[in-house]
């Protein structure tokens, strides 16, 4: 009788822990990709397109859809700063639920100054 009550509780705790780990890993990959993309976009000769390409390659190298499902990357670059945003869905052990992950990174644009 005790096992009938304890087993579902034990499995629920295990699945919640696994779900938290999957979400945290996807979030970590997304922020790392955004930071790498922002550094590329903020380089002296960089562009928003460079940032998107580098961030996309980072997500692919980190596991692609096995880590972040349906990833999308966007970037902006102004005269003073570059921002890259990575969005996607974390893998889920709960059917029908896909938690969204969105991380952004902003860096100053490198430039040569005379002084």
Residue 115 has pLDDT above 80, yes or no: no
Label residues 78-111 b or e (16+ Cβ within 10 Å = b): eeeebbbbbbbbbbbeeeeeeeebebbbebeeee
Contact 37, 84 (CB under 8 A): yes
pLDDT in tens, 58-103: 999 999 889 999 999 999 999 999 999 999 999 998 888 889 999 9
Cα 45 versus chain centre, distance: 25
Residue 56 has pLDDT above 80, yes or no: yes
Q: What is the DSSP letter of 109?
A: P
pTM: 0.88
How much is the mean pLDDT over the chain? 93
């Amino acid at each position: 009788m005790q096992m009938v009550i304890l087993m579902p509780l034990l499995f629920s705790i295990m699945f919640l822990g696994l779900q938290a780990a999957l979400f945290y890993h996807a979030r970590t990959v997304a922020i790392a990709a955004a930071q790498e993309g922002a550094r590329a976009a903020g380089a002296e000769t960089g562009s928003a397109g460079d940032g998107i390409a580098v961030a996309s390659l980072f997500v692919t190298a980190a596991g692609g859809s096995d880590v972040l499902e349906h990833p999308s990357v966007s970037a902006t670059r102004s005269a003073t700063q570059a921002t890259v945003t990575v969005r996607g869905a974390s893998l889920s052990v709960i059917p029908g639920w896909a938690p969204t992950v969105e991380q952004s990174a902003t860096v100053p644009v490198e430039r040569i100054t005379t002084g």
